[in-house]
Amino acid sequence: MSKDESIPVAPSLVDDIHITEENVVSKRVFFLSIQVVLNAIVIGFVAKALVALINLITNISFYGRFSFAEHGPAANQLGIWVIAIPVIGGLLVGIIARTGSAAIRGHGIPEAMEQVLTNESRIKPIITILKPLSAAVSIGTGGPFGAEGPIIATGGAFGSFAGQIMHITPSERKIMLTAGATAGMAAIFGTPIAAVLLAIELLLFEFSPRSIIPVALACATGAAMHYLLFDTAPVFVMPVIPSPTYQDMLWYLLLGAMIGVIAAGVSKSVYFIEDLFEKLPIHWMWWPAIGAVAVGVTGYFAPYTLGVGYSNITDLLSGSLPLQLVLGLCFLKFISWSVSLGSGTSGGTLAPLLTIGGATGIALGMLVLSIFPESSINLPTCALIGMAAMFAGAARALLTSIVFAFECTMQPHGLLPLLGACTASYFVSFFMMKSSIMTEKIHRRGVYTPDKYEPDVLQHLSVETVMEKQEQGRPANFQTIYVYPESRLGLAIDIMGRYNINTLPVVNKENKQEVLGMLDAQMILRAYRQNRRDNDAYQRAISIKRSGFKLILQGRQILKYKGKN
């Protein structure tokens, strides 16, 4: 905004604050970006430490050895005693939650969303320690979760903590929380673009340069930490998939829509189980241990359902798993994960949704090939779109799911099937459930989550379009507070709120003693309501019937003219 746009005040108010329209990007964005990059470096090391701690607890729990080497629990030789390991882990998680903070319960993203929306992005600093500790215990003792949920929650808590000790606004603290959370995701998976999209779709609730710049830099730094501390190869390696034909695309769209229905069922079942636990006549501290019984029993019959299970996703993407294992990952993994998550233990949702979705995609692909053997659909592609479509439908994160699947596999021929299948799943999910797996919990607490981003009406309507105009500009005494005809309504609202007034004179910018009109709060409210109504009104901009009638008349005139000649 130009210097002339500032609001002058009377001499008695010289020391008062001038109200000006805020710049889109300022030097504060630069300093904030530096801070979130530093935070992302720390979060990268935290992600590495969390993975190492999960590996350590897994080795101690299932193999009785002190080692940080990656070794999943599926190869354990404990026999029936394997059932006790997750139960012990559930007891420990319950004790940590009871004695430390109940906020560590759950999978992290809904809790971060709630703090953004209701608590000015303030998360208790203790969560930075307790969340990864409880998650490592839960996953390391066989919990069917991924490390991404806890590190997202931990990164968000660390960003919030850094924001609470700094002199910043709640909006800037929200950016720091989001940058920390998404940097954690990028550090685990090496998917910076998907992490930025996750911020937009689930955490920021806005899209503006002042928020995207710091978040994007944090995600890029998190991905760089992944390359430094983990690996530079794609997280999920899969065979090269062929370019789809138009017949294949029709099948992939159908599979995506079917998975959207299943995703809604998966989301509802988790909260149905949670409701059942709420009815238990014992303290919630014991619920994770009770839910862990299902984990242990399932793990006894199907050891591959235990633990993080990233290797299961890679095996699914190969397209070579036998049907028995595919169905086991589809149904038994779902039972183990849904009961455990519904019990309120500490864990994530992304890896289980990817596993269940990938298995469902392959199972549906096998079904199609058995009924229509002439079909040329590709089973690895079915697994890829299955895992992404499940996440798109359950979490309502369309763009995140598409880009995440691509960045994790680096399969360019998968983009078109991903776009079609994920959009179909996303579309169907809105007819099947009101909330998503990420928002249902906080909706039940009365917290509204925005489901769309629209331009601010008050920022694109000018005062001139709303004000009550004077018949002729009339001179007036010196105006202490005023606006110009070209000023935005958002600025007028700021002035009214700042000075506790309901009416503002509108003056000529070249001659501030000439009053062109008046503006009051009721006019602004009417303009806002009318704009919303106009945007939602059904109308036909072009009438085919009227246009056709005009063409007929013009044709007749042309024929008459030619007949005369």
pLDDT of residue 83: 94
| Type of residue numbered 68 | F
554 part of a folded domain: no
What does DSSP say about strands 468-475 and 503-507: parallel, antiparallel, or unpaired? unpaired
Question: Which residue, chain included where needed, has tokens 């607890």?
Answer: 57
Q: How far is CA 423 from the centre of its chain?
A: 16
- Per-10-residue mean pLDDT of the chain, 565 residues long, equals 41 38 76 95 94 93 91 89 94 91 78 79 86 90 86 90 90 92 94 94 86 95 96 92 93 96 93 91 93 94 89 91 92 93 85 94 94 92 96 93 96 95 95 87 79 76 86 59 87 88 86 84 88 75 66 69 61
Evaluate whether residue 544 is within a structural domain: no
pLDDT value, residue 3: 40
Cα of first residue to Cα of last residue in the chain, in angstroms, is 64
CB 161 within 8 A of CB 215: no
163 and 268: one domain?
no
The kind and range of the H/E element at 1 are none
Measured CA to CA in angstroms, residue 26 lies from 22, 33, 120, 173, 217 at distances of: 9, 11, 21, 16, 16
Residue among 364, 360, 363, 355 nearest 312 (CA): 355
At residue 513, the pLDDT reads 79
Same domain, 217 and 349: no
- Residues belonging to the chain: 565
Q: How far apart, in whole angstroms, are the C-alpha atoms of residue 170 and residue 164? A: 9
Predicted local distance difference test score (pLDDT) of residue 548 = 63
One-character DSSP codes across 135-173: HHHHHHTT-S--SHHHHHHHHHHHHHHHHHSS---HHHH
How far is 234 from 157, CA to CA, in rounded Å? 27
What is the Cα–Cα distance from 535 to 503, expressed in whole angstroms?
Answer: 27
Domain boundary (203, 229, 255) is at 229
Q: Is residue 71 part of a domain?
A: yes
Q: How far apart are CA 43 and CA 281, in angstroms?
A: 39
Same domain, yes or no: 337 and 285 = yes
Residues 430 and 310 in one domain: yes
* Buried residues in 53-86 as b, exposed as e (16+ CB within 10 A): bbbbbbbebbeeeeeeeebbbbebebeeebbebb
Query: 105-123 b/e with 16+ CB inside 10 Å = b?
Result: bbbbbbbbbbbbbeebbbb
* Contact of 329 with 74, CB cutoff 8 Å: no
Structure tokens at 247: 């017949």
Domain-located, residue 546: no
Pick from 397, 10, 23: nearest CA to 182: 397
Domain boundary among 395, 414, 445: 445
Q: Residues 351, 485: one domain? A: no
Partner residues linked to 371 by β-bridges = none
Whether residue 199 lies inside any domain: the answer is yes
Whole-number pLDDT of residue 19: 46
DSSP E strand boundaries for 183-294: none
**550: in domain:** no
Residues 278 and 155 in one domain: no
CA distance 532 to 153: 36
- In angstroms, the Cα distances linking 97 to 102, 136, 288, 488, 563 are 5, 14, 10, 49, 93
Residues 352 and 404 in one domain: yes
258 part of a folded domain = yes
Contact 160, 114 (CB under 8 A): no
Say how many C-beta atoms besides its own lie within 10 A of residue 502's C-beta.
Answer: 9
The DSSP 8-state label assigned to residue 108 in this structure reads: S
Q: What is the CATH number of the domain that holds 482?
A: 3.10.580.10
Q: Domain range for residue 152?
A: 27-229
Contact 491, 21 (CB under 8 A): yes
Cα torsion through 537, 540, 541, 542, rounded to 10: 180
| Domain at 159, CATH number | 1.10.3080.10
The count of structural domains within the chain is 3
Based on the domain organization, do 193 and 259 belong to the same domain? no
Considering the domain architecture, whether residues 186 and 299 belong to the same structural domain is answered as no
Whether 155 and 60 map to the same domain: the answer is yes
CB-based contact 336:144 (threshold 8 Å): yes
Cβ neighbors of 543 (< 8 A, separation 6 or more) are none
Which residue type does 512 have? Answer: K
d(CA 44, CA 69): 19
> Do 153 and 111 meet the contact criterion of CB atoms below 8 Å apart?
yes
Boundary residue ending a domain (229, 257, 290): 229
Specify the DSSP class assigned to residue 183: H
Residue 338 lies in a domain: yes
Name the nearest CA neighbour of 420 among 454, 467, 388. 388
3-state secondary structure 364-402: HHHHHHHHCCCCCCCHHHHHHHHHHHHHHHHHCCHHHHH
Nearest to 295 by CA among 441, 106, 102, 88: 88
Residue 446 confidence (pLDDT): 79
In this structure, are 214 and 78 located in the same domain? yes
441 and 465 both lie in a single domain: no
